[in-house]
Structure 1
């Protein structure tokens, strides 16, 4: 065993988080290949649904972990894919409003079911109490990372679980 194979618990946790996200994202991409819906696009559609189907890019950027410039680029791709429409705000001409299209609204339930299938299968055998502890721990880590982040104005959606 070389000296790089012994690491801190925090480093191992980071490696596990990154590797898990990568594997889960690959599973998602394979399952959603035909729809061309990435996890990022799914997250934006989900957040827009939480906001009633429309918002501004600025408001969306405050409620999601992606950076504003990343959201802007994703929204442009989503508009090309026919998932959202962008319109100038009639009251504030410099402001853009984004709205989900019927295509996005129809794709979402299929994507949600697919993600639930993936995650339910991955979490099979993990006791509910452990899932709750993991959720709470990851939420704590994410929130701590956000306080250290240069962009501290995030107001993430306070999701609840069943």
Structure 2
């Protein structure tokens, strides 16, 4: 199959890899939102806890960047998560203008629940795919992201 680009004659949206990537991402997000809601959590909390599970503590600006969360949204979420005992925040010793976020024991418990939810959705998403398929898919995604990061993408 020859992939046609938007604007090409005979372009078909359903055959567009980026359209399908976007639809798949939206479907994953919707399924995660439903599954997380069932355990009393939302997407932003899941992202924050997941990031802190990988790197604890983390700087607020890093959580925003890696979690693709607007700073205003993240600030409100961190206030709520701190109130709920999931995280603590404190000024960084080397530069008091930067805030570090720490996951608490209660936050780790919530993360474990979210990880089990994510594992279930993930297993459903990759059902029937081989390890080789997933390896190739990851290579393609990384390559496309590198291409897009080269920018700019304005018509000449």
* TM-aligned CA distance change 1:71 to 1:102, over 3 Å: farther
- Residue 119 of structure 2 corresponds to residue 111 of structure 1: no
* TM-aligned CA distance change 1:27 to 1:100, over 3 Å: same
Deviating above 4 A after TM superposition, structure 1's stretches of 4 or more consecutive aligned residues are none
The answer to whether the 8 Å contact 2:45/2:77 transfers is: no
How far apart in 2 are the matches of 1:140 and 1:4?
23
Tell me the TM-score normalised to structure 2 length. Answer: 0.74
Structure 1 counterpart of 2:33: 29
The answer to whether the 8 Å contact 1:79/1:85 transfers is: no
How far apart in 2 are the matches of 1:41 and 1:17?
24
Deviations 1:45-85 (A, max 9, x none): 2222222x2121234455x1626xx1452243133133322
Deviations 1:69-114 (A, max 9, x none): x145224313313332222234433221211122321111221121
Higher relative contact order (CA 8 A, sep 6+): 1
The answer to whether the 8 Å contact 2:58/2:100 transfers is: yes
Structure 2 counterpart of 1:95: 98
Q: CA RMSD in A?
A: 3.0
Tell me the TM-score normalised to structure 1 length. Answer: 0.71
Structure 1 counterpart of 2:23: 19
Unaligned runs of 5+ in 2: 1-6
Equivalent residue of 1:36, what SS?
Answer: coil
How far apart in 1 are the matches of 2:113 and 2:76?
23
- Residue 143 of structure 2 corresponds to residue 140 of structure 1: yes
Q: How does 1:1-162 map to 2 (within 5 A)?
A: 6-7=10-11, 12-33=16-37, 34-38=39-43, 40-51=44-55, 53-61=56-64, 64=66, 66=68, 70-71=70-71, 73-81=73-81, 82=84, 83-148=86-151
